[in-house]
Structure 1
Amino acid sequence: MSEHLVLVSHGRFCEELKKSAEMIMGPQETISTVALLPEEGEADFLEKFEAITESLEDFVVFADLLGGTPCNILSKKIMQGASFDLYTGMNLPMVISYVNANLLAIEGDYVKESAESIVKVNELLLNVAVDDEDE
Protein backbone atom coordinates (compact mmCIF):
# COMPACT_ATOMS: atom_id res chain seq x y z
CA MET A 1 0.00 0.00 0.00
CA SER A 2 1.37 3.39 -0.96
CA GLU A 3 1.52 6.02 1.72
CA HIS A 4 1.46 9.03 -0.59
CA LEU A 5 -0.91 10.10 -3.34
CA VAL A 6 -0.02 12.55 -6.10
CA LEU A 7 -2.89 14.13 -8.04
CA VAL A 8 -2.00 15.48 -11.51
CA SER A 9 -4.21 17.39 -13.91
CA HIS A 10 -4.73 19.99 -16.58
CA GLY A 11 -5.16 23.29 -14.75
CA ARG A 12 -5.87 23.47 -11.05
CA PHE A 13 -8.40 20.62 -11.00
CA CYS A 14 -6.06 18.49 -8.87
CA GLU A 15 -5.66 21.25 -6.28
CA GLU A 16 -9.40 21.81 -6.02
CA LEU A 17 -10.07 18.06 -5.87
CA LYS A 18 -7.71 17.81 -2.90
CA LYS A 19 -9.54 20.71 -1.21
CA SER A 20 -12.87 18.96 -1.77
CA ALA A 21 -11.53 15.73 -0.28
CA GLU A 22 -10.28 17.68 2.73
CA MET A 23 -13.75 19.19 3.25
CA ILE A 24 -15.02 15.64 3.73
CA MET A 25 -12.03 13.77 5.21
CA GLY A 26 -10.07 16.52 6.98
CA PRO A 27 -6.50 17.66 6.21
CA GLN A 28 -4.55 15.31 3.93
CA GLU A 29 -0.82 15.78 4.33
CA THR A 30 -0.05 12.65 2.30
CA ILE A 31 -1.70 14.05 -0.83
CA SER A 32 0.29 16.29 -3.18
CA THR A 33 -0.78 17.98 -6.39
CA VAL A 34 0.93 18.83 -9.67
CA ALA A 35 -1.03 21.10 -11.99
CA LEU A 36 -0.14 21.59 -15.64
CA LEU A 37 -0.97 25.26 -16.15
CA PRO A 38 -1.79 26.82 -19.55
CA GLU A 39 1.46 28.78 -19.67
CA GLU A 40 3.59 25.69 -18.91
CA GLY A 41 5.03 22.97 -21.09
CA GLU A 42 5.87 19.32 -20.56
CA ALA A 43 9.30 20.13 -19.09
CA ASP A 44 7.74 22.45 -16.50
CA PHE A 45 5.23 19.81 -15.46
CA LEU A 46 7.87 17.10 -15.23
CA GLU A 47 10.14 19.34 -13.16
CA LYS A 48 7.33 20.02 -10.66
CA PHE A 49 6.40 16.33 -10.52
CA GLU A 50 9.99 15.26 -9.86
CA ALA A 51 10.45 17.95 -7.19
CA ILE A 52 7.48 16.51 -5.29
CA THR A 53 8.24 12.82 -5.78
CA GLU A 54 12.04 12.70 -5.49
CA SER A 55 11.87 12.32 -1.70
CA LEU A 56 8.99 9.83 -1.72
CA GLU A 57 9.77 6.13 -1.41
CA ASP A 58 6.40 4.87 -2.54
CA PHE A 59 3.51 6.75 -4.10
CA VAL A 60 0.45 6.37 -6.31
CA VAL A 61 -0.56 8.87 -8.99
CA PHE A 62 -4.11 9.74 -10.04
CA ALA A 63 -4.35 11.64 -13.35
CA ASP A 64 -7.36 13.45 -14.75
CA LEU A 65 -7.50 12.16 -18.32
CA LEU A 66 -6.25 9.13 -20.23
CA GLY A 67 -4.28 10.43 -23.21
CA GLY A 68 -3.89 13.87 -21.67
CA THR A 69 -0.49 15.50 -21.31
CA PRO A 70 0.02 14.84 -17.56
CA CYS A 71 -0.87 11.15 -17.98
CA ASN A 72 1.24 10.82 -21.14
CA ILE A 73 4.31 12.38 -19.50
CA LEU A 74 4.04 10.02 -16.54
CA SER A 75 3.35 7.02 -18.79
CA LYS A 76 6.68 7.75 -20.51
CA LYS A 77 8.40 7.78 -17.11
CA ILE A 78 6.95 4.35 -16.32
CA MET A 79 8.06 3.04 -19.73
CA GLN A 80 11.56 4.34 -18.92
CA GLY A 81 11.63 2.34 -15.67
CA ALA A 82 9.98 4.56 -13.04
CA SER A 83 8.12 2.54 -10.43
CA PHE A 84 4.75 3.91 -9.40
CA ASP A 85 1.11 3.07 -10.05
CA LEU A 86 -0.70 5.47 -12.38
CA TYR A 87 -4.49 5.61 -12.51
CA THR A 88 -6.50 7.88 -14.79
CA GLY A 89 -10.03 9.26 -14.66
CA MET A 90 -9.55 10.60 -11.15
CA ASN A 91 -12.55 11.86 -9.25
CA LEU A 92 -13.59 12.59 -5.69
CA PRO A 93 -14.75 9.02 -4.89
CA MET A 94 -11.32 7.73 -5.99
CA VAL A 95 -9.53 10.14 -3.67
CA ILE A 96 -11.83 9.30 -0.75
CA SER A 97 -11.27 5.59 -1.46
CA TYR A 98 -7.52 6.17 -1.29
CA VAL A 99 -7.82 8.03 2.03
CA ASN A 100 -10.05 5.32 3.52
CA ALA A 101 -7.74 2.53 2.35
CA ASN A 102 -4.80 4.34 3.93
CA LEU A 103 -6.68 4.80 7.21
CA LEU A 104 -7.56 1.10 7.28
CA ALA A 105 -4.09 0.03 6.06
CA ILE A 106 -5.58 -1.96 3.18
CA GLU A 107 -5.03 -1.94 -0.56
CA GLY A 108 -7.80 0.01 -2.30
CA ASP A 109 -9.55 -1.00 -5.51
CA TYR A 110 -9.78 2.52 -6.92
CA VAL A 111 -11.00 1.53 -10.37
CA LYS A 112 -13.87 -0.61 -9.09
CA GLU A 113 -14.97 1.84 -6.41
CA SER A 114 -14.79 4.79 -8.78
CA ALA A 115 -16.84 2.98 -11.43
CA GLU A 116 -19.44 1.99 -8.83
CA SER A 117 -19.83 5.62 -7.80
CA ILE A 118 -21.19 6.57 -11.23
CA VAL A 119 -24.94 6.32 -10.90
CA LYS A 120 -27.85 7.85 -12.80
CA VAL A 121 -29.81 9.23 -9.86
CA ASN A 122 -33.11 9.34 -11.79
CA GLU A 123 -33.05 5.54 -12.14
CA LEU A 124 -32.08 5.12 -8.50
CA LEU A 125 -35.04 7.28 -7.43
CA LEU A 126 -37.37 5.37 -9.75
CA ASN A 127 -36.28 2.08 -8.16
CA VAL A 128 -36.88 3.51 -4.69
CA ALA A 129 -40.36 4.68 -5.74
CA VAL A 130 -41.18 1.22 -7.16
CA ASP A 131 -39.94 -0.44 -3.96
CA ASP A 132 -42.12 1.91 -1.87
CA GLU A 133 -45.18 0.98 -3.96
CA ASP A 134 -44.50 -2.73 -3.41
CA GLU A 135 -44.66 -2.34 0.37
Structure 2
Amino acid sequence: MLNRAILLVSHGNLASTMKECVQLITGKQKDLYALSMDAEETFESFSSRLETSVNQLRVRYQEIIILADIKGGSPCNAATLQVFKERSIQVIAGFHLGLVIECCLSPASPRELIANASQSISHINSVIN
Protein backbone atom coordinates (compact mmCIF):
# COMPACT_ATOMS: atom_id res chain seq x y z
CA MET A 1 0.00 0.00 0.00
CA LEU A 2 1.16 3.51 -0.81
CA ASN A 3 2.76 5.50 1.98
CA ARG A 4 0.24 8.37 1.96
CA ALA A 5 -0.51 11.22 4.34
CA ILE A 6 -3.89 12.91 4.32
CA LEU A 7 -3.90 16.49 5.57
CA LEU A 8 -7.23 18.21 6.20
CA VAL A 9 -7.18 22.03 5.99
CA SER A 10 -10.13 24.24 6.84
CA HIS A 11 -11.59 27.41 8.21
CA GLY A 12 -12.23 27.19 11.95
CA ASN A 13 -12.20 23.79 13.64
CA LEU A 14 -13.75 21.86 10.76
CA ALA A 15 -10.52 19.98 9.93
CA SER A 16 -9.87 18.80 13.48
CA THR A 17 -13.54 17.96 14.03
CA MET A 18 -13.67 16.04 10.75
CA LYS A 19 -10.61 14.07 11.83
CA GLU A 20 -12.36 13.16 15.09
CA CYS A 21 -15.51 12.09 13.21
CA VAL A 22 -13.55 9.91 10.79
CA GLN A 23 -11.74 8.20 13.64
CA LEU A 24 -15.02 7.63 15.47
CA ILE A 25 -16.14 5.58 12.47
CA THR A 26 -12.89 4.01 11.27
CA GLY A 27 -10.73 3.91 14.39
CA LYS A 28 -7.37 5.63 14.79
CA GLN A 29 -5.91 6.85 11.49
CA LYS A 30 -2.16 7.35 11.95
CA ASP A 31 -1.77 9.00 8.53
CA LEU A 32 -4.57 11.57 8.96
CA TYR A 33 -3.66 15.10 10.03
CA ALA A 34 -5.59 18.35 10.49
CA LEU A 35 -4.64 22.00 10.23
CA SER A 36 -7.20 24.70 10.95
CA MET A 37 -7.17 28.41 10.12
CA ASP A 38 -8.79 30.56 12.78
CA ALA A 39 -10.59 33.85 12.15
CA GLU A 40 -7.72 36.04 13.36
CA GLU A 41 -5.03 34.33 11.28
CA THR A 42 -3.68 35.89 8.10
CA PHE A 43 -3.33 34.04 4.83
CA GLU A 44 0.44 34.43 5.05
CA SER A 45 0.58 32.98 8.55
CA PHE A 46 -1.59 29.99 7.62
CA SER A 47 0.41 29.42 4.43
CA SER A 48 3.61 29.36 6.47
CA ARG A 49 2.19 26.86 8.98
CA LEU A 50 0.91 24.71 6.12
CA GLU A 51 4.30 24.73 4.40
CA THR A 52 5.97 23.67 7.66
CA SER A 53 3.46 20.82 8.07
CA VAL A 54 3.91 19.68 4.47
CA ASN A 55 7.71 19.72 4.80
CA GLN A 56 7.48 17.57 7.95
CA LEU A 57 5.14 15.11 6.21
CA ARG A 58 7.34 14.88 3.10
CA VAL A 59 10.11 13.38 5.23
CA ARG A 60 7.88 10.43 6.19
CA TYR A 61 5.48 10.00 3.25
CA GLN A 62 5.75 9.28 -0.48
CA GLU A 63 2.48 11.04 -1.21
CA ILE A 64 0.51 13.84 0.44
CA ILE A 65 -3.13 14.51 -0.29
CA ILE A 66 -4.42 17.79 1.09
CA LEU A 67 -8.19 17.93 1.47
CA ALA A 68 -9.50 21.49 1.72
CA ASP A 69 -12.91 22.46 3.03
CA ILE A 70 -13.95 24.73 0.14
CA LYS A 71 -12.58 25.58 -3.29
CA GLY A 72 -11.31 29.15 -3.45
CA GLY A 73 -11.08 29.58 0.33
CA SER A 74 -7.84 30.63 2.00
CA PRO A 75 -6.93 27.10 3.23
CA CYS A 76 -7.42 25.72 -0.30
CA ASN A 77 -5.48 28.58 -1.86
CA ALA A 78 -2.61 28.02 0.58
CA ALA A 79 -2.65 24.31 -0.30
CA THR A 80 -2.55 25.17 -4.00
CA LEU A 81 0.66 27.14 -3.40
CA GLN A 82 2.19 23.91 -2.10
CA VAL A 83 1.41 22.19 -5.42
CA PHE A 84 3.44 24.84 -7.24
CA LYS A 85 6.38 24.00 -4.97
CA GLU A 86 5.98 20.21 -5.13
CA ARG A 87 3.90 18.70 -7.95
CA SER A 88 3.56 15.36 -6.15
CA ILE A 89 1.24 17.00 -3.61
CA GLN A 90 -2.40 16.45 -4.49
CA VAL A 91 -5.15 18.90 -3.45
CA ILE A 92 -8.85 18.06 -3.39
CA ALA A 93 -11.31 20.84 -2.57
CA GLY A 94 -14.72 20.35 -0.96
CA PHE A 95 -14.19 17.53 1.51
CA HIS A 96 -17.00 15.71 3.27
CA LEU A 97 -17.03 12.78 5.68
CA GLY A 98 -17.43 10.16 2.94
CA LEU A 99 -14.49 11.51 0.96
CA VAL A 100 -12.19 11.65 3.98
CA ILE A 101 -13.07 8.08 4.94
CA GLU A 102 -12.50 6.97 1.34
CA CYS A 103 -9.06 8.63 1.37
CA CYS A 104 -8.15 6.90 4.62
CA LEU A 105 -9.24 3.43 3.53
CA SER A 106 -8.46 3.32 -0.18
CA PRO A 107 -5.19 3.53 -2.12
CA ALA A 108 -7.10 4.91 -5.14
CA SER A 109 -5.94 7.95 -7.10
CA PRO A 110 -7.41 11.38 -6.30
CA ARG A 111 -9.76 11.19 -9.32
CA GLU A 112 -10.98 7.74 -8.25
CA LEU A 113 -11.40 8.91 -4.65
CA ILE A 114 -13.60 11.79 -5.80
CA ALA A 115 -15.64 9.53 -8.09
CA ASN A 116 -16.18 6.94 -5.36
CA ALA A 117 -17.07 9.52 -2.71
CA SER A 118 -19.42 11.35 -5.09
CA GLN A 119 -21.54 8.20 -5.32
CA SER A 120 -22.37 8.61 -1.63
CA ILE A 121 -24.14 11.93 -2.28
CA SER A 122 -27.80 11.26 -2.86
CA HIS A 123 -31.18 12.97 -2.66
CA ILE A 124 -32.88 10.43 -0.40
CA ASN A 125 -36.42 11.66 -1.19
CA SER A 126 -35.86 10.78 -4.87
CA VAL A 127 -34.70 7.32 -3.90
CA ILE A 128 -37.72 6.51 -1.73
CA ASN A 129 -40.37 8.00 -4.05
The yes-or-no answer on 1:107 pairing with 2:108 is: yes
Name the counterpart of 2:86. Answer: 82
d(CA) in 2 for partners of 1:87 and 1:124?
Answer: 28
Identity of aligned residues (%): 23
d(CA) in 2 for partners of 1:67 and 1:48?
Answer: 18
Could you tell me whether the CA contact under 8 Å between 1:93 and 1:113 is conserved in 2? no
How many residues are matched?
A: 121
d(CA) in 2 for partners of 1:56 and 1:118?
Answer: 31
Runs of 4+ aligned residues of structure 1 deviating over 6 Å after TM superposition are: none
**1:13 partner letter:** L
Name the counterpart of 1:132. Answer: none
**2:124 partner letter:** V
- For residues 99-133 of structure 1, the C-alpha deviation after alignment (integer angstroms, 9 at most, x for no partner) is 111xxxx324221122211101111122xxxxxxx
d(CA) in 1 for partners of 2:57 and 2:82?
Answer: 16
1:47 is displaced (CA, Å) by 2.3
**SS of equivalent to 1:60:** strand
d(CA) in 1 for partners of 2:53 and 2:28?
Answer: 18
Q: Structure 2-normalised TM-score? A: 0.85
Q: CA RMSD in A?
A: 1.5
1:2 is displaced (CA, Å) by 4.9
- For residues 42-65 of structure 1, the C-alpha deviation after alignment (integer angstroms, 9 at most, x for no partner) is 122122212322122321100011
* Greater Rg by CA: 1
